[in-house]
Structure 1
Amino acid sequence: MKTIILIPPSEGKADGGKNKPLKSVSGITADLIKAINEAEPKKLYGLKAKALENAIAVNKEVLESKTMPAIERYTGVVYDAIDYQTLKHKSDFDEKVLIVSGLFGLVRPTDLIPNYRLKIDKLKAAKLWLTSNSEQLKDKFIIDLLPQAHKKAVKYDHGIEVEFVLKKAGKKMPAGHQGKHIKGRFVRWLIESNVTDQTRFSEFTEDGYTWTGDTFLKEI
């Protein structure tokens, strides 16, 4: 059974690109682009002033702007921690990792995409993608590193959800922003160590996290 690692996109994205624009799209992506154009911008983006103007401009040009591989388009803490350019086994990463995008569904690291703005909890994107995404994950073993909003866009029969949790004075709490970094490091480790299921998760002890059998825990 093939292993697939699910990760979220980043809200921050690199500008520009060297590859041809998409020009046209179909299906759910086309429907969402239409919905974006018809939506009330402030409600859709939750942004103000220059940031709002930038988001509107980016989506207005989504089919005409240059594209780049998704792994280069997405920036942020998880992707910085993965540090794709220094991976020894990039082909394994490209084959095993899928990014759950609000606008494009399941995206491979090498897929060429434009800059865009759409959170997966807007315009019912997660619900729209659920059937299509889940069909693509059939008969796969899933290592799920998705936030709650993105989990609503997938279903799978075989797999495990991986959470990173902090424990302080006996109380557990989500790892939060720090958790994004360790998730990226974990994805990198999965690829470089050719780990395909949870049987070897206990070998990952970076930054003081320990696998308890159902979660990674760090006492602080």
Structure 2
Amino acid sequence: MLVLLPPSETKHPGGDRDPLDLAALTAPELTGVRTELVETLVKLAGDVPASRAALGVSEKQDDEIARNAALWTASTLPAIERYTGVLYDALDVRSLTRARRARADARLAVGSALFGLVAATDRIPAYRLSAGSALPGLPTLRAVWRPALSPVLAALPGLVVDLRSGSYAALAPVPGAVTVQVLSERPDGTRAVVSHFNKAHKGRLARLLATTTAEPDDVVGLRRLLRRAGLHVEHDGDTALTLVVPAV
């Protein structure tokens, strides 16, 4: 089982002294696209106003541009420790026991606008690039990534649970992947799409899937696992699941 996570715009700073090695990342066949994007970001960082426009950041976020300028030389961290925010706080891999962390490292991956696909243990620097960013001289990131990334994602073995947000899922599909929608249910039985807490629920779901000793191999087995864990999960047909949570 592989759980494919969205990235986050916020990143932990720092790391160790090992610089970025694109050829050492998962799916080295993506190295060409990764190199093009990294070099584009490094060059773009020399023009701060253009970087702000392309990346959708404000003057107060110029440190994000400085991070991009240093992509080739900056310190790196395992990807699963680099990303921060609500989902990753709920996932909280740093609190896992050694055995659970080993399972999480083997089962978690991140869909990235800069790297395409990174495993939990792939070492990456802090950077700023979102799926909706428009880089000068390049087509949309979807057009850049889809030809190279689609066959990589299509070849992923076993059950894939795709928790990516819409903009990242649009970069390239994972055929046959299980998707999860989170709905909140009010006392009167009416439901609504969870917005603010969606990432927290998906983070807790990812933690469960990353650390369980079970190995579901299809959507039915996954639904059974989640229900045994006390979650209200509905199978909507095909490979779509709905996680129903109480309204708050």
User: Which amino acid is the alignment partner of residue 33 of structure 1?
Assistant: V
1:105–1:200 CA distance, 2 compared to 1 (3 A):
closer
1:127-152 Cα deviation digits (max 9, x unpaired): 32223333223253221111100111
Of residues 18-27 and 178-187 in structure 1, the stretch that sits farther from structure 2 once superposed is 18-27
Distance in 1, matches of 2:21 and 2:91, equals 30
Aligned to 1:22: 20
Following superposition, the deviation at residue 170 of structure 1 comes to 5.3
Distance in 2, matches of 1:139 and 1:14, equals 28
1:155–1:23 CA distance, 2 compared to 1 (3 A):
closer
Output the aligned Cα RMSD. Answer: 2.5
Distance in 1, matches of 2:21 and 2:110, equals 22
Unaligned runs of 5+ in 1: none
User: Which amino acid is the alignment partner of residue 182 of structure 1?
Assistant: H
Unaligned runs of 5+ in 2: 24-30, 135-139, 236-240
Aligned to 1:130: 146
Distance in 2, matches of 1:8 and 1:151, equals 8
Distance in 1, matches of 2:75 and 2:110, equals 20
How many residues end up aligned between the 2 structures?
217
TM-score by length of 2: 0.78
Following superposition, the deviation at residue 45 of structure 1 comes to 2.2
Aligned to 1:216: 243
Distance in 2, matches of 1:195 and 1:81, equals 22
Is the contact made by 2:183 and 2:194 (CA closer than 8 Å) also made in structure 1? Answer: yes
Of residues 73-82 and 194-203 in structure 1, the stretch that sits farther from structure 2 once superposed is 194-203
Distance in 2, matches of 1:22 and 1:155, equals 26
Q: What secondary structure does 1:136 align onto? A: helix
1:160-199 Cα deviation digits (max 9, x unpaired): 1111112345553321221111111111111222353432
Following superposition, the deviation at residue 16 of structure 1 comes to 1.2
Following superposition, the deviation at residue 80 of structure 1 comes to 1.2
TM-score by length of 1: 0.86
Q: What secondary structure does 1:63 align onto? A: coil
Aligned residue runs from structure 1 range 20-169, under 5 A: 20-22=18-20, 26-36=31-41, 37-38=43-44, 40-51=50-61, 53-87=62-96, 88-123=99-134, 124-137=140-153, 138=155, 140=157, 141-168=159-186
1:70-122 Cα deviation digits (max 9, x unpaired): 11111111111111123242222222211001111100111111110000122
Distance in 2, matches of 1:70 and 1:139, equals 19
1:179–1:195 CA distance, 2 compared to 1 (3 A):
farther
Q: What secondary structure does 1:19 align onto? A: coil
Distance in 2, matches of 1:195 and 1:188, equals 14
1:95–1:203 CA distance, 2 compared to 1 (3 A):
closer
Is the contact made by 2:184 and 2:244 (CA closer than 8 Å) also made in structure 1? Answer: yes
Is the contact made by 1:139 and 1:157 (CA closer than 8 Å) also made in structure 2? Answer: no
Distance in 2, matches of 1:219 and 1:113, equals 37
Of residues 62-71 and 129-138 in structure 1, the stretch that sits farther from structure 2 once superposed is 129-138
Distance in 2, matches of 1:187 and 1:67, equals 23
1:183 aligned onto 2:183? no
Of residues 42-51 and 12-21 in structure 1, the stretch that sits farther from structure 2 once superposed is 42-51
1:203–1:4 CA distance, 2 compared to 1 (3 A):
closer
Aligned to 1:12: 10
1:109–1:24 CA distance, 2 compared to 1 (3 A):
closer
Aligned to 2:28: none
Identity of aligned residues (%): 29
